[in-house]
Amino acid sequence: MVLQYLNHLDNDEFQKAIQELQLTKSIWTIDLAYLMRHFGVKHKFCTQTLGVDKGYKNQSFYRKHFDTEENRVNQLFAQAKDCKVLVEKCTVTVQDIQNHLSQGHVAIVLVNAVLLLCDLCSSPVKYCCFLPIGQKCFCRSPDYQGHFIVLCGYNKASGSIYYNNPAYADRTCCTSISNFEEARTSYGTDEDILFIYTDS
């Protein structure tokens, strides 16, 4: 989505990059930083954890690929500087994000999709089943569902942030800054944000 926005997307070259960078079923933010570097896109990846948080091994979202991915991802972090992938361990504020967006840039953010609510899309069903009174419902939504969104703007007056959700490529979504903050700082995200500079 970002490469297309920046007019850097050539489908054949993109497929080649996917294979070279070994981007398969499990994509981490560091993978996206390497992808931006591959296409010569100026970027800065900010995170709370330089590598893989071992605590995620017990989370259902990460469990399936954790053992096979841990070494690969840690290796990418270790080689980042030599590969000219800019990674910084730091805290990013809403003001930092707004300043970046106000200059016409975009950002890829890892959020907990379970918590992120779009004010413009129709509301998701909050109850997984409708059973007669007295019967227990054993369905539950996951505690964490990692998902990347692309921030594209904000409205300071209304306290809103605008983003594109790759799951709905045909629309721009909007949420309150407080909801966005809750979703992006949720345990599991490492507060990962990949700042993309459109003057690349």
- pLDDT tens for each residue of the chain, 200 residues long: 899 889 887 889 889 998 999 887 789 999 999 999 999 999 999 999 999 888 787 777 777 777 788 899 999 999 999 999 999 999 999 999 999 999 999 999 999 999 999 998 865 544 344 444 544 444 456 688 899 999 999 999 999 999 998 877 678 999 999 999 999 999 999 999 999 999 86
**pLDDT recorded at residue 200:** 64
**pLDDT recorded at residue 155:** 95
**pLDDT recorded at residue 73:** 92
Give Cα separations from 198 to 5, 24, 100, 102, 133 (angstroms): 9, 26, 10, 12, 55
Question: Token pair 């840039």 is at which residue?
Answer: 105
Q: Which residues, listed in sequence order, are joined to residue 150 by a DSSP beta bridge?
A: 108, 164
Burial label for 4, CB within 10 Å (0-12, 13-18, 19+), is exposed
Q: Which residues contact 123 (CB under 8 A, 6 or more apart)?
A: 117
| Cα–Cα nearest to 73, from 190, 160, 152 | 190
Task: Tell me the whole-structure pTM to 2 decimals.
Answer: 0.87
167 within 8 A of 116, measured Cβ to Cβ: no
| Cα–Cα nearest to 34, from 75, 5, 62 | 75
How many angstroms separate the CA atoms of 45 and 87, rounded?
5
Structure tokens at 85: 């992938």
CA 198 from chain centre, in angstroms, equals: 18
**pLDDT recorded at residue 91:** 94
**pLDDT recorded at residue 132:** 47
